[in-house]
Amino acid sequence: MAQWARSCALCHVNGEGGAPRVGHPDEWIARVAQGETALLNHTLEGYNNMPPLGYCMDCEAEDFSALIRFMADGS
């Protein structure tokens, strides 16, 4: 998960800027309810304090999907 450690983790571990935290499925439930496509689009295009591509410039769409599933695990 090298990509995750230097991108998403910067905000999604401590909840920087209001980011839903990894390991806190309760913070992901309402977001996951939007559907995987909406979550992926918000990751690619940005969403409020969430920057476009989440600082992972070399991530492909499938990488983002895997990272989202990993962070939302259990929700």
Contacts with ligand HEC by CB under 6 A lie at 7-8, 10-12, 16-20, 31, 34, 38-39, 42-43, 47-51, 54-56, 59, 64, 67-68
**C-beta of 8: minimal distance to ligand HEC in Å?**
3
26 or 49, CB closer to ligand HEC?
A: 49
**C-beta of 29: minimal distance to ligand HEC in Å?**
11
CA distances from 62 to 24, 37, 71 (A): 22, 12, 14
